[in-house]
Structure 1
Amino acid sequence: MGVTGSEVGARPWEIEMGNGHRIVIVGAGYTGLFTAVRLAHRTRGTGTEITLVNPSSRFVERLRMHQLAAGQQLADHRIPDLLAGTGVRFVPGTVTAIDPERRTATVDGAGALPYDTLVYALGSSTDTSNVPGADTHAFTLNSPEVAGRFAARLTEVAAAGGSVSVCGGGLTGIEAAAEIAESHPGLHVTLISADEPGAMMGATARAYLLRALDRLGVTLETGARIGKVLPDAVELADGRLVQSDVCLWTAGVRVSPLAAEAGITTDERGLIQVDATLRSVSHPEILAIGDAAAVRLAWGPLHGTCQSGLPTAQHAADTIARLLRGKAAKPFRFGYFHQPVSLGRRDAVIQFTKADETPRRLHLTGRFAVAYKETVSGSPLLTYRLSKRVNVTTAVSKGGRATRTPAA
C-alpha cells in the first residue's frame, strides 16, 4: 500500500490550478467536512469548485453519540451553516455509484456529479451482520435517529427497573455503558466484552476505569463470546443467557461497499488501498481518508478514530492544494497521542500513548480528565470555524522517526 519516498509525487496524475477544477467530497462526517473547509481556504481565489455530498444536512458528532443514546440532548449543527462563507457547495443526497472511468459520482436525487478529484470519506458503521439476531434485536449508534429510538426504549426499560446489555468492550462500549448507568441509576447495565475493558491502557489507568464502572453499577461479562441476540436476552457462546430488555451493539465495524463495487482497489475489509500520500493505488485522482482508507505506517495500520481521521483529512486537503500548484505530494505522517474515555459526565480517564498507541505511564483522571475529554470532543467544531481563516494543525504527533520513511 505504501510507496518509497522517491516515488511520492511521481504518480501519473497531473492537475492544473483554476479552470474550474472540480473536487467532489463524498461524506460529511468529521473528515469529509474538515477536508472541505480546509481545502476551500487553501484554494481560495483559484477557481476551484468544491462540492460536499452527504445524505443528511445535520452534522453528526460521533464522539457524543453515547450521550444521545443515554437520553441527553445534543446541539443541532447543520452542515450548510458550518460551510457558510467557504464557497463550498453542499449537495444533500446519498451517493449510489462512482464511475472512476467517467469520473462521476451518482447522487440519489441529484444525478451524476462530474469530478476531476474525488475525496472518499464515507467512514464506517457498526457491523451487526456477524452475530445472529444483532441486526433485528439490537440498536446501534450508527445515526442520531437510531440512537434516539434506543434512548426512548431505554427510558421505558428504566421506568420498569429492567436491564440493558452493551455488547462490545471497546472505547465506544465503555463510554456508552458508563453514560447509561449514570443517566439511569435504577437500570441494570451489563457490558459484554471478549476482552477486559480498557485492555489497551496501562495498568493504572485500566484499574481506574474498572473501578469507575463498578462505582456506576455496571456489571462486566468479560471473556465472553456472543452467540446470539434474542428479544429479551443475549446468548453467550457457552449457552449462558444475559437478561436484556434492550441491547446496544457496539462491536465490529464495516464500511460501504461503494468503492469495491466501483472497481477501486480495496483490501479484504473494503477499505481503499492508498499510497503514502493517501491516493488510491488504482485511481490516483481519488483520495481516501478516515475509516474508509487502508493506511499503513511504519509501526502498523491506522484504525478508525477521530484522532487519526482528522489528520488524514488535513493531509488530503493539503495534498490537493499542493498538486494544484504544481508541487509534489508529501507522505502522510501521524502518531497516536492519547486515548480519552468519558465515564459519564462527571468522570473520565485519559491514557497518553506512544505513536503506535502503546500506553505511556502518564494518564489523567477525575475532573481534569473530564475537562480534557470535553475539549477533545468539542475540538472538531472549533477546528472547522478556525480553518475558514487559518491552517489549523490537527495532529499532535507525526509519529517520530518511524514515519519519516513511508511504509512499504
Structure 2
Amino acid sequence: MSTAHTTGPAGTHHVLMLGAGYAGMAAATQLAARTRKADVRVTLVNAHERFTERLRLHLTATGQRVAELDIPTLLADTGAHFVRGWVTAVDAQARTVRIDDSRVLRYDTLVYGLGSVTDTAVVPGVEEHAYTLDGPSDATTLADRLARLGGGTVVVVGGGLTGVESAAEIAERHPELDVVLVGRQDPGARMTARARSHLRAALTRLGVQVISGTAVTKVLPDGVELAGARTIAADVVLWTAGTRVSPLAAAAGLTVDERGRVVTDATLRSVSHPDVYAIGDAAAIRQGYGVLHGTCQSGMPTGVPGPTSRPGRGVGRRLVRGHRHRHLPGRRAARHARRPGRDQRWSGPGVQRCGPRGRHHLPRHRRRWPRHRHPQRGQPRQAPSGRRRHHPPSPDGLSR
C-alpha cells in the first residue's frame, strides 16, 4: 500500500502540474521563475520525458527528422521539478494525485493540463483499423507503413488543420500514393476566403483529392464507408477527426462540460474546486465566440502566465493584474505569449515556432508597433516631450 508524499519541505506551498504539453510547459516554467524567492515548489508530472510537439507529428509521420526535446533539460535552471509517471487518479477532496498506482503526491494547488487525444470511439472501426497522431510512436508507426507502400491510396479523415497538414505532407513526400482528404466541411472552413482559395490551390497542386460535406460512418480493414453507403478503398486510413479528454477530471468530482473538460471561471480556476486550475485542451474556457478551441496558439496563452503565489495572499492569483480570459484576443495574445522575454526561460517548442511564420503569426504589414519604436525605422526615436513613452506589452503581460 502506497503512502502519500509531499513534493517538498514542510511549510512550502506545493503546486502540482499535470501534463507537459504546450500549456503545461509554459505554465510550469513561468510559475517557477516567478516564485523563486517564495516558499513555493512547482512540480510537473508527465508520462514521458520527451516533449511531444503535436504540431510537428505530421512531419515525423512522413519520415522527416524533428528535434527531440527532453523535458528535464527544458526545465533545467527554471526551478521546476519533473516527475515522470502516468496520472491514474485525482482525489480533489484529499488533494492528492496518484502516479502509476504506486505513488501519491500531495498538493496545495493543482494545475490540470492533461490535454487531449484523438477520439477513436466515435466511429466504429477507428480503433481497430485507423492510424492516429497522438505521439511520436504513433507517427513513427505510420511513417514505417507509408514507407513500405509502393503505391495505393491513403485516406485522411478530418478537414481540420491536422488533417490538411497531414494530407499535404503525405502527398508531397510520397508522390507515388493517392491521397484523399475527407471531411464534413471544406478544408480551412474557418479561414478567410482568400486563405481557403490558397489552401485549395495547394492541395490541388499536390494532387490531393478533397471530399467534403460528408461524414465517415465506419472504418473498414480496406477502406472507409461514407454516409449514404458509399465506400472508398484505402490501404491506409489516418484519423484526425475530433479529440477527447481524460475522464480523470470527471472522476475526481470536478465540474466538467459535456466533453469532459474542466469548467473554469475567467481566471481559469475550476468553478467547483477553487484550489484547481485547468489549462490547455483540458479546460472549457468560454470566450465571446464560444469555447476556446484546443490548439498550440490558444493553449499557450492559458499557461503564460500561470497561477502564482504572492506572499501573504495565497496561491491562485493571475500573474497579470486584470488578465482575465473573458476576452482573449486570439492571434495577438498567442503572438505575445510566444515572444521570448526576460523571465521566459523556456524558448523551445511552440514558443518560437508555433505556426508557419515562426515567432510572428501575422503578416509583417499587420504587426502593430508604436511609431517611435518601429523596428524598420532605424533607432528608436524619443517620445514627444510631455508624453509618457509607450512600450509594447511584455510577453508576461506585466507593465515595465
Task: Check whether TM > 0.5.
Answer: yes
Who is 1:335 aligned against? 329
Q: 2: CA distance between counterparts of 1:377 and 1:76?
A: 23
Identity %: 51
Q: Secondary structure at the match of 1:311?
A: helix
Q: CA deviation at 1:337?
A: 2.3
Who is 1:44 aligned against? 36
Q: Secondary structure at the match of 1:130?
A: coil
Q: CA deviation at 1:132?
A: 0.8
Structure 1 or 2, whichever has the larger Rg, is 2
AA aligned opposite 1:115: Y
Q: 2: CA distance between counterparts of 1:187 and 1:112?
A: 49
AA aligned opposite 1:255: V
Q: 1: CA distance between counterparts of 2:55 and 2:108?
A: 32
Do structure 1's residue 166 and structure 2's residue 149 form an aligned pair? no
Q: Secondary structure at the match of 2:237?
A: strand
Do the aligned partners of residues 292 and 377 (structure 1) sit closer, same or farther apart at CA in structure 2, a change above 3 Å counting?
A: farther
Do structure 1's residue 373 and structure 2's residue 356 form an aligned pair? yes
Q: 1: CA distance between counterparts of 2:263 and 2:271?
A: 6
Q: CA deviation at 1:299?
A: 3.2
Q: CA deviation at 1:323?
A: 7.6
Higher relative contact order (CA 8 A, sep 6+): 1
Q: Secondary structure at the match of 2:169?
A: helix
Q: Secondary structure at the match of 2:228?
A: coil
Do the aligned partners of 2:118 and 2:243 also contact (CA within 8 Å) in 1?
Answer: yes
Q: CA deviation at 1:320?
A: 2.2
Who is 2:264 aligned against? 274
Task: Give the RMSD, CA atoms, in angstroms.
Answer: 2.4
Who is 1:253 aligned against? 243
Q: CA deviation at 1:293?
A: 0.6
Who is 1:112 aligned against? 104
Structure 1 unmatched ranges of 5 or more? 1-17, 341-351, 353-369, 379-390, 396-408
What is the TM-score with the length of structure 2 in the denominator?
0.79
Range with bigger deviation, 53-62 or 101-110? 101-110
Do structure 1's residue 240 and structure 2's residue 243 form an aligned pair? no
AA aligned opposite 1:254: R
Q: 1: CA distance between counterparts of 2:245 and 2:19?
A: 12
What is the TM-score with the length of structure 1 in the denominator?
0.77
Who is 1:287 aligned against? 277
Q: CA deviation at 1:198?
A: 1.2
Do the aligned partners of 2:261 and 2:282 also contact (CA within 8 Å) in 1?
Answer: yes
Q: CA deviation at 1:109?
A: 6.0
Q: CA deviation at 1:223?
A: 1.3
Q: CA deviation at 1:26?
A: 0.3
Who is 1:265 aligned against? 255
Q: 2: CA distance between counterparts of 1:276 and 1:56?
A: 31
Aligned residues: 333
Who is 2:187 aligned against? 197
Q: CA deviation at 1:335?
A: 1.6
Q: CA deviation at 1:392?
A: 6.1
Do structure 1's residue 124 and structure 2's residue 116 form an aligned pair? yes
From 314, 320, 330, the counterpart of 2:308: 320
Q: CA deviation at 1:115?
A: 0.1
Do the aligned partners of residues 312 and 324 (structure 1) sit closer, same or farther apart at CA in structure 2, a change above 3 Å counting?
A: farther
AA aligned opposite 1:199: A
